[in-house]
Amino acid sequence: MTALVFRPARPIAARSLLLVALLASLAACTPFQPGMPGGPPSVDPGQAVLQAAQSHIGAPYRYGGAGPDAFDCSGLVAYAHRQLGIAVPRTAAEQFAAATPVPRKDLRPGDLVFFRLESRAVSHVGIYAGDSRFVHAPQKGGHVRMANLDDEWYRQRYVGAGRLYAAPP
């Protein structure tokens, strides 16, 4: 009687090499990301501006403050945009003049909302957050916080809104 000898169809080294090649090719694949093939994922600049501002809620108000530890209203706007590499004018009035107007019904997070407080000139600005809310640095002794456009005080002083970044399609 002859003994049966088991012989693999391929040597173990060849199968291991095939497995390593397969794993290496799979490791080179990247998961799907929206946007252009090979490009970075798309980021909504308005959301990024808003998040930069919201991350400083609670920071103290300081006239002329442009961050990162204290802010006035236009300094908060300038700081939040600067985090995205967007240069903006320094004062609320200059930001109002430079912004592309946006009707209130079309506001998106990251848009700017402007107010006249004690004069005929625009003198206050906030960053829209959605649902009639905005983040701003209100006044001496205050701190960066959220407010609501529908509050009577802000509603009476609201003069318009604008955008300083290119909105995504």
Residue 73 is among the residues annotated as catalytic for this protein: yes
Q: Are 57 and 50 in contact (CB under 8 A)?
A: no
Tokens of 156: 């009476």
Residue 29 is among the residues annotated as catalytic for this protein: no
With CA atoms as reference, report the closest residue to 122 among 151, 147, 158, 71. Answer: 158
Residue 124 is among the residues annotated as catalytic for this protein: yes
CA dihedral sign of residues 62, 65, 67, 73: positive
Q: Are 15 and 131 in contact (CB under 8 A)?
A: no
Residues 56, 73, 81, 143: which is the catalytic one?
73
Residues 56, 81, 136, 143: which is the catalytic one?
136
- Measured CA to CA in angstroms, residue 85 lies from 42, 49, 88, 132, 146 at distances of 16, 10, 10, 27, 24
Would you name the residues annotated as active-site residues? 73, 124, 136
